[in-house]
A and B are shown apart, each in its own frame.
Chain A
Protein backbone atom coordinates (compact mmCIF):
# COMPACT_ATOMS: atom_id res chain seq x y z
CA UNK A 1 0.00 0.00 0.00
CA UNK A 2 2.75 2.38 1.00
CA UNK A 3 4.74 1.32 -2.01
CA UNK A 4 1.62 1.91 -4.09
CA UNK A 5 1.32 5.52 -2.97
CA UNK A 6 4.97 6.18 -3.61
CA UNK A 7 4.62 4.77 -7.09
CA UNK A 8 1.55 6.87 -7.79
CA UNK A 9 3.32 9.99 -6.54
CA UNK A 10 6.21 9.23 -8.85
CA UNK A 11 3.91 9.02 -11.84
CA UNK A 12 2.27 12.32 -10.93
CA UNK A 13 5.67 13.98 -10.69
CA UNK A 14 6.65 12.66 -14.12
CA UNK A 15 3.46 13.87 -15.69
CA UNK A 16 3.66 17.25 -14.00
CA UNK A 17 7.27 18.00 -14.85
CA UNK A 18 6.78 18.78 -18.53
CA UNK A 19 3.60 20.70 -17.83
CA UNK A 20 5.26 22.94 -15.26
CA UNK A 21 8.06 23.89 -17.73
CA UNK A 22 6.64 26.47 -20.20
CA UNK A 23 6.10 25.02 -23.66
CA UNK A 24 8.44 26.48 -26.28
CA UNK A 25 6.66 29.04 -28.48
CA UNK A 26 5.80 27.95 -32.01
CA UNK A 27 8.27 29.53 -34.44
CA UNK A 28 5.62 32.02 -35.58
CA UNK A 29 4.97 33.07 -31.95
CA UNK A 30 8.55 34.05 -31.12
CA UNK A 31 8.67 37.74 -30.17
CA UNK A 32 11.42 39.73 -31.93
CA UNK A 33 12.10 43.34 -30.99
CA UNK A 34 12.71 46.01 -33.62
CA UNK A 35 16.37 44.99 -33.97
CA UNK A 36 15.52 41.31 -34.31
CA UNK A 37 16.55 40.34 -30.78
CA UNK A 38 14.66 37.79 -28.72
CA UNK A 39 14.73 38.52 -25.00
CA UNK A 40 13.13 35.37 -23.61
CA UNK A 41 14.75 31.96 -23.66
CA UNK A 42 12.72 29.76 -26.02
CA UNK A 43 12.69 27.02 -23.40
CA UNK A 44 12.49 29.20 -20.32
CA UNK A 45 15.84 27.76 -19.27
CA UNK A 46 19.53 28.20 -20.01
CA UNK A 47 21.02 26.07 -22.79
CA UNK A 48 23.94 23.65 -22.59
CA UNK A 49 27.05 25.07 -24.31
CA UNK A 50 28.62 21.63 -24.79
CA UNK A 51 25.62 20.40 -26.74
CA UNK A 52 25.55 23.76 -28.53
CA UNK A 53 29.09 23.23 -29.82
CA UNK A 54 28.00 19.90 -31.28
CA UNK A 55 24.99 21.46 -33.00
CA UNK A 56 27.31 24.08 -34.53
CA UNK A 57 29.68 21.49 -35.96
CA UNK A 58 27.25 18.74 -36.97
CA UNK A 59 26.37 18.70 -40.66
CA UNK A 60 22.94 17.24 -39.90
CA UNK A 61 22.11 19.96 -37.34
CA UNK A 62 23.28 23.59 -37.39
CA UNK A 63 26.33 23.04 -39.60
CA UNK A 64 27.22 26.63 -38.69
CA UNK A 65 30.89 26.01 -39.46
CA UNK A 66 29.90 25.46 -43.10
CA UNK A 67 29.81 29.25 -43.31
CA UNK A 68 31.62 30.48 -40.18
CA UNK A 69 35.11 30.08 -38.79
CA UNK A 70 35.05 29.24 -35.08
CA UNK A 71 38.63 28.95 -33.80
CA UNK A 72 37.40 27.31 -30.60
CA UNK A 73 36.12 24.38 -32.73
CA UNK A 74 39.53 23.83 -34.30
CA UNK A 75 39.25 20.05 -34.08
CA UNK A 76 36.27 20.13 -36.47
CA UNK A 77 37.50 20.08 -40.10
CA UNK A 78 36.59 22.57 -42.83
CA UNK A 79 35.24 25.86 -41.59
CA UNK A 80 33.68 28.05 -44.26
CA UNK A 81 34.11 31.74 -44.99
CA UNK A 82 30.68 32.74 -46.26
CA UNK A 83 29.85 34.45 -42.94
CA UNK A 84 32.06 36.36 -40.50
CA UNK A 85 34.29 34.49 -38.02
CA UNK A 86 32.39 33.97 -34.79
CA UNK A 87 35.42 34.42 -32.52
CA UNK A 88 34.58 36.97 -29.85
CA UNK A 89 30.95 37.12 -30.93
CA UNK A 90 29.75 37.40 -27.31
CA UNK A 91 31.69 40.67 -27.01
CA UNK A 92 29.78 42.13 -29.95
CA UNK A 93 26.24 40.94 -29.27
CA UNK A 94 23.99 40.36 -26.27
CA UNK A 95 22.40 37.01 -25.55
CA UNK A 96 19.07 38.35 -26.83
CA UNK A 97 20.71 39.47 -30.10
CA UNK A 98 22.36 36.10 -30.58
CA UNK A 99 19.07 34.29 -29.93
CA UNK A 100 17.43 36.42 -32.62
CA UNK A 101 20.30 35.83 -35.07
CA UNK A 102 20.14 32.06 -34.61
CA UNK A 103 16.34 31.82 -34.58
CA UNK A 104 15.88 34.00 -37.67
CA UNK A 105 18.89 35.96 -38.87
CA UNK A 106 16.74 37.70 -41.48
CA UNK A 107 15.15 39.73 -38.66
CA UNK A 108 18.60 41.13 -37.80
CA UNK A 109 20.28 41.20 -41.23
CA UNK A 110 17.57 41.69 -43.85
CA UNK A 111 18.18 39.55 -46.93
CA UNK A 112 21.07 37.63 -45.36
CA UNK A 113 22.14 34.31 -46.83
CA UNK A 114 22.10 32.83 -43.31
CA UNK A 115 19.24 30.36 -42.94
CA UNK A 116 16.58 30.85 -40.25
CA UNK A 117 16.92 27.99 -37.78
CA UNK A 118 13.69 28.47 -35.83
CA UNK A 119 11.18 28.94 -38.59
CA UNK A 120 9.00 26.39 -40.35
CA UNK A 121 6.87 28.07 -42.99
CA UNK A 122 6.89 30.67 -45.75
CA UNK A 123 9.26 28.76 -48.06
CA UNK A 124 9.36 28.41 -51.84
CA UNK A 125 9.18 24.71 -52.84
CA UNK A 126 9.99 23.33 -49.40
CA UNK A 127 11.50 19.87 -49.60
CA UNK A 128 11.58 16.82 -47.39
CA UNK A 129 15.04 17.45 -45.90
CA UNK A 130 17.74 16.71 -48.52
CA UNK A 131 15.75 14.17 -50.56
CA UNK A 132 14.77 16.61 -53.30
CA UNK A 133 11.14 15.50 -52.86
CA UNK A 134 8.32 17.80 -51.80
CA UNK A 135 7.85 18.17 -48.05
CA UNK A 136 5.00 16.03 -46.95
CA UNK A 137 3.14 17.97 -44.30
CA UNK A 138 4.32 20.81 -42.06
CA UNK A 139 8.06 21.15 -41.57
CA UNK A 140 9.92 21.11 -38.28
CA UNK A 141 12.23 24.06 -37.75
CA UNK A 142 15.88 23.27 -38.59
CA UNK A 143 16.70 23.30 -34.87
CA UNK A 144 14.49 22.64 -31.84
CA UNK A 145 13.98 25.33 -29.20
CA UNK A 146 16.43 23.42 -26.95
CA UNK A 147 19.05 23.30 -29.68
CA UNK A 148 18.70 27.03 -30.32
CA UNK A 149 19.25 27.69 -26.62
CA UNK A 150 22.23 25.31 -26.56
CA UNK A 151 23.79 27.19 -29.50
CA UNK A 152 23.13 30.56 -27.85
CA UNK A 153 24.74 29.28 -24.64
CA UNK A 154 27.79 28.17 -26.63
CA UNK A 155 28.03 31.47 -28.56
CA UNK A 156 27.98 33.31 -25.20
CA UNK A 157 31.25 31.52 -24.35
CA UNK A 158 32.99 33.03 -27.40
CA UNK A 159 34.73 36.00 -25.76
CA UNK A 160 38.12 37.40 -26.59
Chain B
Protein backbone atom coordinates (compact mmCIF):
# COMPACT_ATOMS: atom_id res chain seq x y z
CA UNK B 1 0.00 0.00 0.00
CA UNK B 2 2.69 2.44 1.08
CA UNK B 3 4.82 1.33 -1.81
CA UNK B 4 1.99 1.89 -4.25
CA UNK B 5 1.23 5.32 -2.90
CA UNK B 6 4.86 6.29 -3.27
CA UNK B 7 4.99 5.00 -6.82
CA UNK B 8 1.87 6.95 -7.64
CA UNK B 9 3.41 10.09 -6.14
CA UNK B 10 6.59 9.60 -8.08
CA UNK B 11 4.54 9.30 -11.24
CA UNK B 12 2.61 12.44 -10.46
CA UNK B 13 5.74 14.38 -9.60
CA UNK B 14 7.48 13.01 -12.67
CA UNK B 15 4.64 14.16 -14.87
CA UNK B 16 4.66 17.64 -13.36
CA UNK B 17 8.38 18.05 -13.87
CA UNK B 18 8.21 16.69 -17.40
CA UNK B 19 5.44 19.16 -18.20
CA UNK B 20 7.26 22.09 -16.64
CA UNK B 21 10.32 21.39 -18.76
CA UNK B 22 8.21 20.07 -21.62
CA UNK B 23 8.87 20.66 -25.28
CA UNK B 24 7.81 23.90 -26.86
CA UNK B 25 5.66 24.20 -29.92
CA UNK B 26 7.03 26.26 -32.78
CA UNK B 27 5.10 25.87 -36.02
CA UNK B 28 7.14 25.72 -39.26
CA UNK B 29 10.13 26.89 -37.26
CA UNK B 30 8.67 30.40 -37.20
CA UNK B 31 5.39 30.64 -35.22
CA UNK B 32 5.99 30.17 -31.49
CA UNK B 33 2.86 28.93 -29.73
CA UNK B 34 2.16 29.71 -26.09
CA UNK B 35 0.84 26.40 -24.76
CA UNK B 36 1.02 27.36 -21.05
CA UNK B 37 0.14 30.72 -19.56
CA UNK B 38 -0.80 32.22 -16.21
CA UNK B 39 -4.55 31.72 -15.70
CA UNK B 40 -6.70 34.76 -16.48
CA UNK B 41 -7.82 36.63 -13.38
CA UNK B 42 -11.42 35.46 -13.53
CA UNK B 43 -10.40 31.84 -12.94
CA UNK B 44 -10.65 30.88 -9.30
CA UNK B 45 -9.36 27.33 -9.16
CA UNK B 46 -6.63 27.10 -11.80
CA UNK B 47 -3.29 28.85 -11.71
CA UNK B 48 -1.93 27.97 -15.12
CA UNK B 49 -3.83 27.35 -18.32
CA UNK B 50 -2.60 24.77 -20.79
CA UNK B 51 -3.38 23.96 -24.37
CA UNK B 52 -4.64 20.44 -25.11
CA UNK B 53 -1.36 20.05 -27.01
CA UNK B 54 0.46 19.70 -23.68
CA UNK B 55 -1.48 16.53 -22.90
CA UNK B 56 -0.92 14.68 -26.15
CA UNK B 57 1.77 12.12 -26.95
CA UNK B 58 5.03 13.31 -28.54
CA UNK B 59 3.95 11.66 -31.82
CA UNK B 60 0.66 13.56 -31.89
CA UNK B 61 2.38 16.78 -30.79
CA UNK B 62 4.85 16.51 -33.66
CA UNK B 63 2.12 16.74 -36.33
CA UNK B 64 1.54 20.35 -35.41
CA UNK B 65 5.10 21.55 -35.77
CA UNK B 66 4.99 21.46 -39.56
CA UNK B 67 2.10 22.41 -41.83
CA UNK B 68 3.01 19.66 -44.27
CA UNK B 69 2.54 17.11 -41.48
CA UNK B 70 -0.64 18.66 -40.08
CA UNK B 71 -3.67 17.02 -41.75
CA UNK B 72 -5.83 19.92 -40.53
CA UNK B 73 -3.99 22.27 -42.88
CA UNK B 74 -5.40 20.42 -45.91
CA UNK B 75 -8.84 21.61 -44.80
CA UNK B 76 -7.58 25.12 -44.13
CA UNK B 77 -6.26 25.10 -47.72
CA UNK B 78 -9.72 24.04 -48.95
CA UNK B 79 -11.02 27.03 -47.00
CA UNK B 80 -8.47 29.23 -48.78
CA UNK B 81 -9.73 28.05 -52.16
CA UNK B 82 -13.34 28.70 -51.10
CA UNK B 83 -12.35 32.19 -49.89
CA UNK B 84 -12.21 33.53 -53.42
CA UNK B 85 -14.95 31.40 -54.95
CA UNK B 86 -18.46 32.77 -55.57
CA UNK B 87 -20.87 32.19 -52.70
CA UNK B 88 -23.95 30.29 -53.86
CA UNK B 89 -25.05 31.67 -57.24
CA UNK B 90 -23.97 35.20 -56.36
CA UNK B 91 -20.93 36.90 -57.84
CA UNK B 92 -19.65 37.67 -54.34
CA UNK B 93 -16.93 35.84 -52.45
CA UNK B 94 -15.20 36.46 -49.15
CA UNK B 95 -12.44 38.04 -51.23
CA UNK B 96 -14.89 40.67 -52.55
CA UNK B 97 -14.79 42.33 -49.12
CA UNK B 98 -11.60 40.94 -47.59
CA UNK B 99 -8.59 41.16 -49.82
CA UNK B 100 -6.98 38.00 -48.45
CA UNK B 101 -7.40 35.63 -45.50
CA UNK B 102 -4.32 37.30 -43.99
CA UNK B 103 -6.22 40.59 -43.67
CA UNK B 104 -8.44 38.73 -41.16
CA UNK B 105 -5.49 37.78 -38.97
CA UNK B 106 -6.42 38.43 -35.34
CA UNK B 107 -10.14 37.87 -35.76
CA UNK B 108 -10.12 34.30 -34.44
CA UNK B 109 -8.40 35.47 -31.24
CA UNK B 110 -11.31 37.68 -30.11
CA UNK B 111 -14.28 35.44 -30.95
CA UNK B 112 -16.90 34.82 -29.60
CA UNK B 113 -17.53 38.53 -29.51
CA UNK B 114 -20.40 40.96 -28.91
CA UNK B 115 -22.07 42.17 -32.10
CA UNK B 116 -23.52 45.63 -31.36
CA UNK B 117 -25.92 45.64 -34.34
CA UNK B 118 -27.43 42.28 -33.59
CA UNK B 119 -27.04 42.79 -29.86
CA UNK B 120 -25.82 39.27 -29.29
CA UNK B 121 -22.61 37.36 -28.78
CA UNK B 122 -21.44 35.89 -32.06
CA UNK B 123 -19.16 32.95 -32.68
CA UNK B 124 -16.89 33.10 -35.70
CA UNK B 125 -19.23 30.66 -37.48
CA UNK B 126 -22.12 33.10 -36.93
CA UNK B 127 -20.00 35.96 -38.27
CA UNK B 128 -19.08 33.91 -41.34
CA UNK B 129 -22.76 33.18 -41.94
CA UNK B 130 -23.65 36.85 -41.44
CA UNK B 131 -21.21 37.73 -44.23
CA UNK B 132 -22.57 34.97 -46.46
CA UNK B 133 -26.25 35.82 -46.00
CA UNK B 134 -26.37 39.57 -45.40
CA UNK B 135 -23.42 40.84 -47.38
CA UNK B 136 -23.29 38.33 -50.22
CA UNK B 137 -27.00 37.41 -50.18
CA UNK B 138 -26.23 33.71 -50.41
CA UNK B 139 -27.56 30.82 -48.39
CA UNK B 140 -26.10 30.14 -44.93
CA UNK B 141 -23.72 27.24 -44.38
CA UNK B 142 -24.59 24.55 -41.86
CA UNK B 143 -23.11 25.37 -38.48
CA UNK B 144 -20.81 22.35 -38.39
CA UNK B 145 -20.74 21.68 -42.16
CA UNK B 146 -17.49 20.99 -43.97
CA UNK B 147 -17.27 24.38 -45.75
CA UNK B 148 -17.90 26.15 -42.45
CA UNK B 149 -15.31 24.16 -40.52
CA UNK B 150 -12.78 24.56 -43.35
CA UNK B 151 -13.30 28.34 -43.30
CA UNK B 152 -12.96 28.48 -39.53
CA UNK B 153 -9.74 26.44 -39.84
CA UNK B 154 -8.42 28.95 -42.37
CA UNK B 155 -9.27 31.89 -40.12
CA UNK B 156 -7.65 30.16 -37.15
CA UNK B 157 -4.53 29.35 -39.17
CA UNK B 158 -3.87 32.99 -40.10
CA UNK B 159 -4.14 33.96 -36.41
CA UNK B 160 -1.82 31.29 -35.08
CA UNK B 161 0.52 32.51 -32.38
CA UNK B 162 -1.71 35.45 -31.41
CA UNK B 163 -3.02 35.40 -27.84
CA UNK B 164 -6.65 34.44 -27.31
CA UNK B 165 -8.28 37.54 -25.89
CA UNK B 166 -12.06 37.36 -25.71
CA UNK B 167 -13.90 40.12 -23.86
CA UNK B 168 -16.04 39.02 -20.94
CA UNK B 169 -17.12 42.40 -19.60
CA UNK B 170 -19.54 44.97 -20.99
CA UNK B 171 -22.50 43.71 -22.97
CA UNK B 172 -21.05 40.19 -23.31
CA UNK B 173 -20.98 39.69 -19.57
CA UNK B 174 -24.44 38.14 -19.16
CA UNK B 175 -23.74 35.57 -21.85
CA UNK B 176 -20.40 34.82 -20.21
CA UNK B 177 -22.14 34.25 -16.86
CA UNK B 178 -24.61 31.92 -18.52
CA UNK B 179 -21.71 29.96 -20.03
CA UNK B 180 -20.01 29.76 -16.68
CA UNK B 181 -23.14 28.35 -15.12
CA UNK B 182 -23.33 25.68 -17.82
CA UNK B 183 -19.65 24.84 -17.28
CA UNK B 184 -20.28 24.02 -13.63
CA UNK B 185 -23.64 22.24 -14.06
CA UNK B 186 -23.57 18.49 -13.51
CA UNK B 187 -25.51 17.07 -16.44
CA UNK B 188 -26.94 13.68 -17.23
CA UNK B 189 -27.25 10.43 -15.38
CA UNK B 190 -23.51 10.47 -14.62
CA UNK B 191 -23.94 13.93 -13.06
CA UNK B 192 -20.72 15.33 -14.48
CA UNK B 193 -19.86 18.94 -15.24
CA UNK B 194 -17.15 20.20 -17.57
CA UNK B 195 -15.28 21.23 -14.43
CA UNK B 196 -15.38 17.72 -12.94
CA UNK B 197 -13.22 16.46 -15.78
CA UNK B 198 -11.37 19.50 -17.13
CA UNK B 199 -10.78 21.56 -13.99
CA UNK B 200 -10.63 19.00 -11.16
CA UNK B 201 -8.97 16.20 -13.09
CA UNK B 202 -6.80 17.51 -15.93
CA UNK B 203 -3.60 15.53 -16.06
CA UNK B 204 -5.38 12.39 -14.82
CA UNK B 205 -6.21 9.39 -16.93
CA UNK B 206 -9.90 8.54 -17.30
CA UNK B 207 -9.76 5.02 -18.68
CA UNK B 208 -7.54 5.40 -21.79
CA UNK B 209 -7.90 9.19 -22.08
CA UNK B 210 -5.46 11.72 -20.67
CA UNK B 211 -7.71 14.55 -19.49
CA UNK B 212 -6.75 18.03 -20.65
CA UNK B 213 -8.19 21.35 -19.53
CA UNK B 214 -10.70 21.17 -22.40
CA UNK B 215 -9.34 24.38 -23.92
CA UNK B 216 -10.58 25.51 -27.35
CA UNK B 217 -7.61 27.59 -28.52
CA UNK B 218 -6.72 24.77 -30.95
CA UNK B 219 -10.09 24.55 -32.71
CA UNK B 220 -11.14 23.38 -35.13
CA UNK B 221 -9.07 20.31 -34.33
CA UNK B 222 -8.10 17.48 -36.58
CA UNK B 223 -8.66 14.29 -34.59
CA UNK B 224 -6.70 11.19 -35.53
CA UNK B 225 -9.57 9.19 -34.04
CA UNK B 226 -12.19 10.27 -36.58
CA UNK B 227 -9.80 11.62 -39.23
CA UNK B 228 -11.69 14.86 -39.73
CA UNK B 229 -11.84 18.44 -38.56
CA UNK B 230 -13.97 18.88 -35.45
CA UNK B 231 -15.69 22.11 -34.57
CA UNK B 232 -15.99 23.47 -31.04
CA UNK B 233 -19.70 22.74 -30.73
CA UNK B 234 -19.28 19.19 -32.01
CA UNK B 235 -16.72 18.60 -29.29
CA UNK B 236 -19.01 20.11 -26.63
CA UNK B 237 -21.81 17.89 -27.87
CA UNK B 238 -19.66 14.78 -27.55
CA UNK B 239 -18.59 15.64 -24.03
CA UNK B 240 -22.16 16.36 -22.86
CA UNK B 241 -23.39 13.16 -24.51
CA UNK B 242 -20.75 11.22 -22.58
CA UNK B 243 -22.41 12.25 -19.31
CA UNK B 244 -25.56 10.38 -20.44
CA UNK B 245 -27.30 13.72 -20.87
CA UNK B 246 -29.53 15.26 -23.48
CA UNK B 247 -27.06 17.47 -25.34
CA UNK B 248 -27.53 20.98 -26.65
CA UNK B 249 -27.34 21.55 -30.40
CA UNK B 250 -24.43 23.12 -32.29
CA UNK B 251 -25.23 26.80 -32.73
CA UNK B 252 -27.66 26.83 -29.76
CA UNK B 253 -27.64 29.81 -27.36
CA UNK B 254 -26.34 27.47 -24.63
CA UNK B 255 -23.31 26.36 -26.65
CA UNK B 256 -22.60 29.93 -27.79
CA UNK B 257 -22.53 31.05 -24.14
CA UNK B 258 -20.44 28.03 -23.16
CA UNK B 259 -18.01 28.76 -26.00
CA UNK B 260 -17.51 32.33 -24.81
CA UNK B 261 -16.87 31.10 -21.28
CA UNK B 262 -14.50 28.28 -22.28
CA UNK B 263 -12.66 30.58 -24.70
CA UNK B 264 -12.15 33.07 -21.86
CA UNK B 265 -10.54 30.33 -19.78
CA UNK B 266 -7.90 30.19 -22.52
CA UNK B 267 -7.20 33.94 -22.66
CA UNK B 268 -3.42 34.19 -22.94
CA UNK B 269 -2.88 30.92 -24.81
CA UNK B 270 -2.06 31.18 -28.49
CA UNK B 271 -4.56 30.57 -31.25
CA UNK B 272 -3.37 27.18 -32.44
CA UNK B 273 -6.00 25.86 -34.87
CA UNK B 274 -6.21 23.71 -36.77
CA UNK B 275 -4.58 21.68 -33.99
CA UNK B 276 -4.03 17.92 -34.04
CA UNK B 277 -5.49 15.75 -31.29
CA UNK B 278 -6.11 12.07 -30.82
- A: residues with CB less than 8 A from B are 59, 63, 65-67, 71, 77-82, 85, 87-88, 113, 115-116, 123-135, 139, 142, 160
Q: Give the docked Cα–Cα distance between A63 and B190 (Å).
A: 12
A-B contact list, 15 entries, CB within 8 Å = A59-B207, A78-B205, A80-B206, A82-B201, A113-B196, A113-B200, A115-B189, A123-B189, A123-B191, A124-B185, A124-B186, A126-B188, A127-B244, A132-B241, A132-B245
Q: Of B4, B211, B237, which is in contact with the most chain A CB atoms at under 10 Å from its CB? A: B4
Q: Give the docked Cα–Cα distance between A64 and B107 (Å).
A: 44
Q: Give the docked Cα–Cα distance between A80 and B190 (Å).
A: 16
8 Å CB interface, B26-84 against A: none
Q: Which residues of B lie under 8 Å from residue A135 when comparing CB positions? A: 189, 246
Q: Which residues of B lie under 8 Å from residue A139 when comparing CB positions? A: 189
Q: Which residues of A lie under 8 Å from residue B191 when comparing CB positions? A: 115-116, 123-124
- A116's closest neighbor in chain B, by CB? B191
Q: Give the docked Cα–Cα distance between A3 and B219 (Å).
A: 74
A82-B206, A127-B189 given; A132·B4 CB < 8 A: no
Q: Establish whether residues B188 and A123, one from each chain, have CB atoms under 8 Å apart when the complex forms.
A: yes
Q: Give the docked Cα–Cα distance between A59 and B187 (Å).
A: 19
Q: Establish whether residues B206 and A127, one from each chain, have CB atoms under 8 Å apart when the complex forms.
A: no
Determine if B192 is an interface residue (Cβ-Cβ < 8 Å): yes
Instruction: Give min CB distance, A27 to chain B, whole Å.
Output: 12
Q: Give the docked Cα–Cα distance between A127 and B189 (Å).
A: 7
A116-B191, A124-B186, A124-B187 given; A130·B242 CB < 8 A: yes
Q: Which residues of B lie under 8 Å from residue A88 when comparing CB positions? A: 1
Q: Establish whether residues B188 and A124, one from each chain, have CB atoms under 8 Å apart when the complex forms.
A: yes
Q: Give the docked Cα–Cα distance between A160 and B211 (Å).
A: 30
Q: Which residues of B lie under 8 Å from residue A115 when comparing CB positions? A: 189-192
Partner of A125, one of B188, B208, B211: B188
Q: Establish whether residues A66 and B206, one from each chain, have CB atoms under 8 Å apart when the complex forms.
A: yes
Q: Establish whether residues B189 and A78, one from each chain, have CB atoms under 8 Å apart when the complex forms.
A: no
Q: Establish whether residues B188 and A127, one from each chain, have CB atoms under 8 Å apart when the complex forms.
A: yes
Determine if B278 is an interface residue (Cβ-Cβ < 8 Å): no
Total B residues in contact with A, Cβ cutoff 8 Å = 29
Q: Of A130, A131, A135, which is in contact with the most chain B CB atoms at under 10 Å from its CB? A: A130
Q: Establish whether residues B189 and A65, one from each chain, have CB atoms under 8 Å apart when the complex forms.
A: no
Q: Give the docked Cα–Cα distance between A130 and B206 (Å).
A: 17
Closest 8 CB pairs of A and B: A132-B241, A66-B207, A78-B208, A134-B246, A132-B247, A125-B246, A127-B245, A115-B190
Q: Give the docked Cα–Cα distance between A46 and B4 (Å).
A: 31
Instruction: Give min CB distance, A75 to chain B, whole Å.
Output: 15
Q: Which residues of B lie under 8 Å from residue A128 when comparing CB positions? A: 246
Q: Give the docked Cα–Cα distance between A132 and B246 (Å).
A: 5
Q: Establish whether residues A80 and B4, one from each chain, have CB atoms under 8 Å apart when the complex forms.
A: no
- A91's closest neighbor in chain B, by CB? B1
Instruction: Give min CB distance, B39 to chain A, whole Å.
Output: 21
Q: Establish whether residues A85 and B8, one from each chain, have CB atoms under 8 Å apart when the complex forms.
A: yes
Q: Establish whether residues A126 and B245, one from each chain, have CB atoms under 8 Å apart when the complex forms.
A: yes
- B238's closest neighbor in chain A, by CB? A132
Other than A79-B207, A134-B246, A142-B189, give 18 A-B pairs with Cβ distance below 8 A. Answer: A63-B207, A65-B207, A77-B208, A78-B208, A79-B205, A80-B206, A81-B8, A87-B4, A124-B185, A124-B186, A124-B245, A125-B246, A126-B188, A127-B189, A128-B246, A132-B241, A132-B246, A133-B246
Q: Establish whether residues A130 and B241, one from each chain, have CB atoms under 8 Å apart when the complex forms.
A: yes
- A123's closest neighbor in chain B, by CB? B189
A87-B4, A132-B247 given; A81·B205 CB < 8 A: yes
Instruction: Give min CB distance, A22 to chain B, whole Å.
Output: 26
